[in-house]
Amino acid sequence: MEFGERLKELRTNLNCSQKELSEKTGLTLRTIQRIENNEVKPSLNSLKLIGNALKTNFSEDVKKSETKPYEINFTIKITDMNQFINDLKTLVKNNWKIILLIVLVIFLFSNYNEIKSGFIEGWNRK
Question: Which of 45, 54, 42, 46 minimizes the C-alpha distance to 16?
Answer: 54
pLDDT at 104: 93
pLDDT at 70: 45
pLDDT at 83: 83
pLDDT at 77: 60
Residues in the chain predicted with pLDDT less than 70, given as ranges, are 1, 58-79, 126
Q: What digits encode the pLDDT tens for the residues 45-79? A: 888 888 888 888 765 544 555 454 544 444 556 66
pLDDT at 57: 74
